[in-house]
Amino acid sequence: MIVKKHIFLVEDELHLRLTLSLILRKAGFLVTAAEDGSKALKQLQELKSRSEKVDLLVTDIQMPGLTGMQIIDGIKKMALEIPCLVITGYGSKDIVIELMRMGCSEYLDKPFEPEEFLKRVNIVLEKEEHKKAERDKQVKEFEYEKSEIKREVEAYKQNFEKLREQVDLAVGAYKNLVDINEESCKIPIAYHYKPFSELGGDFMDIRDSETGCDILVADVAGHDMGASYHAVLVKVLFDENCRLGCDGQAFFKHLNTQLIEHGKHKRMVTALFLRLNLHAMKGEIVTAGHPPPICVYPDNPEPELYDTKGNVLGIFSDAVFGYRQFDISPGQRFFLYTDGVTNACRVDGPTGKKQKLKGNGLDSTLKRYHFLSLNEVIHHTWQDVFSFCRYKPTDDMLLLGMEIPGA
């Protein structure tokens, strides 16, 4: 059964209204007509309440009472998405510009021939059909993307069969992927994380070694299921790296290779590897395009950045990673985070401009709570970050703090 396209006509001139209605009906359209803007909006509201679709609005501009522009504005306020063809005898440049700004699909200057009128009507309807086809195409492409992601996950499982249980657990529960058992760590830690959606791409983990511990913070681009699947790969390889005792440079090279070889749809990953040797009281950092760690000493509240830069993972096969070695001392604190924290933003009321927290804002917050315990510093800093962005984060957010224990 062919469903007729429904056209809503608003025209105050009786003769023209009847003529256009007849033209449209002869062309096979269903027509609803109104003689003025107020009646038109009332009828459109009734059609909406009955879930009757209107495929096109044809309206005059200059009419007693409400103008055509006011009708278009009223339709928007009713949350109706109806393409518009405007008929005008006053087709000035300013009016045309205003019509385009309001989202008008087409306009037609009076006088016009019936053939030209029908041509414009069909042009608008064809544009809408094209838009619908594009939307349907995007849905199909999204479904294809999901199937490809599932295929990639299966490939990861095959490559790491010995760690299949961990992979399955990580895919099934992002919370279990990120949560750390604080009591089992050799160093005091405190952290908070918040994925932008139910699943995210931020990842952190700590593994104890014979001489201290290895810490990893990573950020997979995106907030979707695919980002979490890539975070699973990071966890799997980090676990394997800790088992083998390889350093951060070797780990990032291996991870970069796996991301490039097994990532059909490339995703950028930034990461930071921190190794603490509590016997030798030495530390080393390897970075792959990740925000720098912040160091705070017990006798100096001024935060210090350990910036080593480095290329991101998963893009360049010959990526180079930043490196820094340093001494550590009891009471020294390190704060690791993802860019969702420093990119937290809000709109300034007076200016309307977006303000980002940035690194300076995070430094100031940590400095403000310098005298508190590690848990309190992380708790209050996290609250301040969320307060800054008015509890509306725009990305996954992760903040991890750790303290070098005493002798």
**Residue 106 pLDDT > 60:** yes
DSSP state of 393: -
Question: How far apart, in Å, are the Cα atoms of 339 and each of 117, 176, 330, 392, 397?
Answer: 55, 22, 28, 15, 7
Place of tokens 């021939």: 113
Q: Are 216 and 203 in contact (CB under 8 A)?
A: yes
The residues pairing with 10 across neighbouring beta strands, listed in sequence order, are 34, 59
Mean of the pLDDT values across residues 50-72? 88
Query: pLDDT, tens digit, for every residue of 262-302?
Result: 765 567 899 999 999 999 999 999 999 999 999 999 988 89
Q: How many CB atoms lie within 10 A of CB 136?
A: 10
CATH number of 167-403: 3.60.40.10
DSSP state of 102: T
Q: Which CATH architecture has domain 6-134?
A: 3-Layer(aba) Sandwich (3.40)
Look at residue 168 in the predicted model and tell me its pLDDT. Answer: 46
Q: Report the C-alpha gap between 231 and 218 in whole angstroms.
A: 8
The percentage of residues in the chain with a pLDDT greater than 70, rounded to a whole number, is 90
Q: Which residues touch 120 (CB under 8 Å, ≥6 apart)?
A: 85, 106, 108
Strands 84-88 and 106-109, how do they pair?
A: parallel
Look at residue 236 in the predicted model and tell me its pLDDT. Answer: 86
Q: For the whole model, what pTM was predicted?
A: 0.57
Mean of the pLDDT values across residues 245-261? 91
Place of tokens 């510093």: 377
Place of tokens 């991870």: 255
**Residue 176 pLDDT > 90:** no
- Listed residue (56, 57, 124, 68) closest to 95, CA to CA: 68
Domain spans, the chain: 6-134, 167-403
Q: Which residues touch 395 (CB under 8 Å, ≥6 apart)?
A: 196, 223, 338, 339, 340, 343
Query: Is there a cis peptide before residue 111, judged by omega within 30 degrees of 0?
Result: yes
Q: How many CB atoms lie within 10 A of CB 400?
A: 24
